[in-house]
Amino acid sequence: MIKKINLIFCVVLILMLFPLLCPAGEQDTILATVGSEKITQSYLDMVLANLPGAVRAQHEKMGKKKVKEKLLENIVAMKIFAHGARLIKLDEKPEVKFRIQDSLEGMLAGEYIAHLRAGITVNEDEVKKYYEQNPHYFQLPETVKLRHIAVKTEEEAKNILADLKKGADFAEIAQKQSIHSSKEKGGDLGWVKKKGRAQPEIEEAAFKLKKGAISDIIETKTGYHIIKVEDHKAASIASLADVKDKIKPMLFQIKQRQVIDEARKKLTEELGVKIFSDKLKDTKKAPGTKGKGE
């Protein structure tokens, strides 16, 4: 029941902004009548097209025909209840008039902002310029690609290190003897950066080793470790190709703020807006509302 009321409320707000301006023509099928009012196919299509995305997606799961049948049912219910409200002059109550006008103003404001957004574009030259002027935003840290073996005792670590120095395969030993969760992947820790997820002692040793080198035994509070540096990447700047898809929406947001702020400033000046915040007082209970416990 609550979902049905919410959908009817959505329909009411949509129709406040999207009234059907033209009467039904020969091609506009009449789907229902409520008193003298006709609900047409174009009316239904307009409501469906302008439902909030989440509401539309939820109802489209039912299938197109069922969605339209349900929506038509809700529109008819809305018209019936609206007629009932007018019969007892609810539409003349000050608080109802206020809510209608306030909802309309809010939706119009949203439509105007959407209109401003529609004119915003970000081209490739702007993306490239931002990238070139802000390299510090796209710095990539120095990283090393590690394999890792962990054991409980120093004796075990010494035996493993001796085997590795004789040419034993690091990944195979990790799978068989390591107690770390990475053993299933042959001790592969992936790419590790400074002050990342590796333990400080392991990280410190890793960034001192050359590519292909195996460390001495590293003792930590969790046990004894041996690592191998499989690859190394120096600190660098990400390529434009790698970051342009992140720059574009960021520039769009920047432009959007600028466009909206400029429109607000222009309209504020044109309307001669004045705000008397020093005269604000405690808000009294609005007509038709209830406080806690009432």
What residue spans define the domains of the chain?
Answer: 2-87, 142-234
- Asked whether residue 215 carries a pLDDT value surpassing 90, the answer given is yes
Which DSSP helix (H) or strand (E) runs through 189?
strand 188-193
- The pLDDT assigned to 17 comes to 44
- pLDDT (tens digit per residue) in 169-196: 999 999 999 999 999 999 999 999 988 7
Q: At what angle do helices 53-60 and 2-17 cross, to 10 degrees?
A: 130
- The pLDDT assigned to 49 comes to 84
Cα Rg of the chain, angstroms: 33
In this prediction the pTM is: 0.65
- Asked whether residue 78 carries a pLDDT value surpassing 70, the answer given is yes
- pLDDT (tens digit per residue) in 136-181: 999 999 999 999 999 999 999 999 999 999 999 999 999 999 999 9
d(CA 93, CA 288) in angstroms, rounded, equals: 10
- The pLDDT assigned to 255 comes to 96
- The pLDDT assigned to 5 comes to 44
> What CATH number belongs to 142-234?
3.10.50.40
User: pLDDT averaged over the chain?
Assistant: 87
For residues 24 and 114, the answer to whether their CB atoms sit within 8 Å is: no
How many CB atoms neighbour CB 59 within 10 A? 20
- Asked whether residue 135 carries a pLDDT value surpassing 90, the answer given is yes
- Asked whether residue 283 carries a pLDDT value surpassing 70, the answer given is no
Min mean pLDDT across 59-73, 156-170, 260-274 is at: 59-73
- Asked whether residue 57 carries a pLDDT value surpassing 70, the answer given is yes
- Asked whether residue 19 carries a pLDDT value surpassing 50, the answer given is no
CA distances from 264 to 104, 105, 119, 272 (A): 19, 15, 16, 12
